[in-house]
Amino acid sequence: MSFLAITIFHREPQALFALPLPLILALGFGMYGMLELGVRIGKSHLRSVHGKILDTLGVIDGPIFALFGLLIAFTFSSALSRFDERRKLIVEEANDIGTAYLRLDLIPAPDQEPLRNLFRNYIDSRIRTYELIPDMQAALAEYERTQILQAEIWGQATQSVAKSPNTLAGMQLLPALNSMIDITNTRTAVLQFHPPVVIYGMLLVMALVSAVLVGYQMAAFEKRSWLHIVLFIISITLTCYVILDIEYPRMGLIRVDAVDGVLRDVREGMSPNK
């Protein structure tokens, strides 16, 4: 499990994870620069063909804009799907921990309180692991502490089940503990699930290409519409920012932190006075 944690936490594309806003600002300025380049190319073409841009060029522009729109739709839809999956996994883990905690009642009474204390430390560690992101080194250290607590919980539970006269203890508690442990690996793996970086690269390239084509078409007009230029650049850059923000929901404006409250509610239910 430790190897899995190291693999997951150290493969994150840190530039995309930690710097979405600078990347999007660079895209905005880049699109404006490419739009200006398109205008210059268009005006040069106008001078060479006596002031007329061929209408047939739309046959080329149309598929390019359509491809760009499909690429945005694909990346946005897949990012939103993974965002929903991450939220569902948090709720699932909270349910798994709560179920395993309740089934501690099946083991002998003297063994229950030590395990309940371990459970409290365990859920605190699970909450803190994700609170520490994007400090990946600290998150990894906390994840390793989680694994130590998992081993202690499993060891004490199996010993208690072995000496328990209640046959339901092993049949009910151990599968619940197994589910509780497995979900941690699932959440850690899903943290890594993103489209290949080349998809984001293609998205950025298509945005720049589209800006060139828009600038080229605008060269035919005597006066530019700055409103349309600004809205075009803002619309594309804002959409790309939202896509990156959804892909990395422990940063930025769109976050899954609120769903962590489900784990905190379970932790509150484990308080000794409950």
Residue 247 forms part of a structural domain: yes
Residue 220 forms part of a structural domain: yes
Q: Please list, residue by residue across 50-82, b when 16 or more beta carbons sit within 10 angstroms of its beta carbon and e when fewer do.
A: eeebeeeeeeeeeeeeeebeebbeebbebbeeb
Q: What is the rounded CA–CA span in Å between residue 236 and residue 207?
A: 7
| Helix axis angle, 2-11 to 136-163, nearest 10° | 160
Residue 213 forms part of a structural domain: yes
Question: What pLDDT score was predicted for residue 153?
Answer: 95
Question: What pLDDT score was predicted for residue 273?
Answer: 61
pLDDT digits 0-9 by tens, 163-187: 888 888 878 899 999 999 999 989 8
Q: What is the number of domains present in the chain?
A: 1
pLDDT above 70: percentage of residues in the chain: 88
Residue 274 forms part of a structural domain: no
Please, what is the average pLDDT of the chain?
Answer: 84
Show the domain range for 107.
2-269
3-state secondary structure 159-193: HHHHHCCCHHHHHHHHHHHHHHHHHHHHHHHHCCC
Side-chain-facing half-sphere of 164: CA atoms under 13 Å: 24
Q: 118, 141, 116: which is closest to 128 by C-alpha?
A: 141
pTM of the model: 0.79
pLDDT digits 0-9 by tens, 184-214: 989 888 888 888 888 888 999 999 999 999 8
